[in-house]
Each structure stands twice: as structure tokens, then as C-alpha cells.
Structure 1
């Protein structure tokens, strides 16, 4: 890992750092209830959609 890379903790929201109840469903519940994280997630998803063959299924 280079110095510019950061590790990702699946137990934390990547947008605000809040501890999540679970990496999958807990993240989605968090994004649904936190407007700033929801907006950041939507922006991220819009940016990666074209990078994924067949589109984004999530």
C-alpha cells in the first residue's frame, strides 16, 4: 500500500466515519437516514456507474 492509499473499514460509513450496525444492510439504512451520506453515495454511484460493465446493480 502506498502512502496515498487509505484502508477502508467496512464497519464505518466511508462518507462520515460513523460506526455501522453491519457493513451491508447497516450501511444502506445509514445512507437512507443521513441526507449528507445519501447525497455523497448517490454522487459516488453516478460516477462509477459507467465504469462497470452492464451498469450498477446495487
Structure 2
């Protein structure tokens, strides 16, 4: 079963719903510039890092 492209390359921030410039670097710039999104992203990353062998590289 394949996932829709939007599941891995968001056009909107999953934390606040704002449009983002691009799914990669644009998402990271958005997260760095929006404190509420940065906090939510850090919380998400902390929760999933133990689920990934070798930790989170992103």
C-alpha cells in the first residue's frame, strides 16, 4: 500500500496548518521561525526518536 505524497511531503505545517514554501527546507525554516511549531516538532521528534534504529537523523 502506498501512502499519498502529502503524507511525506506536506504543503501545510502539520502543527499549525499554515502553508509552507516547500516540504523540506521550507518546512524546517517554518519550524525554526514559529515557536509553537518548533516546540511541537521537538516534542514529536523526542517521541519518535526511540522508534527509529540508530535514532533520528533529521
Instruction: Verify same fold: TM over 0.5.
Output: yes
Misfit runs of 4+, over 6 Å:
none
1:1-58 matches, within 5 Å, as: 8=7, 10-58=10-58
Residue 4 (structure 1) aligns with = none
Deviation at 1:14, TM superposition (A): 0.2
SS of equivalent residue, structure 1 residue 11: coil
Q: Which runs of 5+ in 2 are unaligned?
A: 1-5
How does the TM-score come out when normalised to structure 1?
A: 0.84
Give the count of matched residue pairs.
52
Max Rg structure:
1
- C-alpha RMSD of matched pairs (Å): 1.3
TM-superposition CA deviations, 1:8-40 (whole Å, max 9, x none): 471000000000000000000000000000000
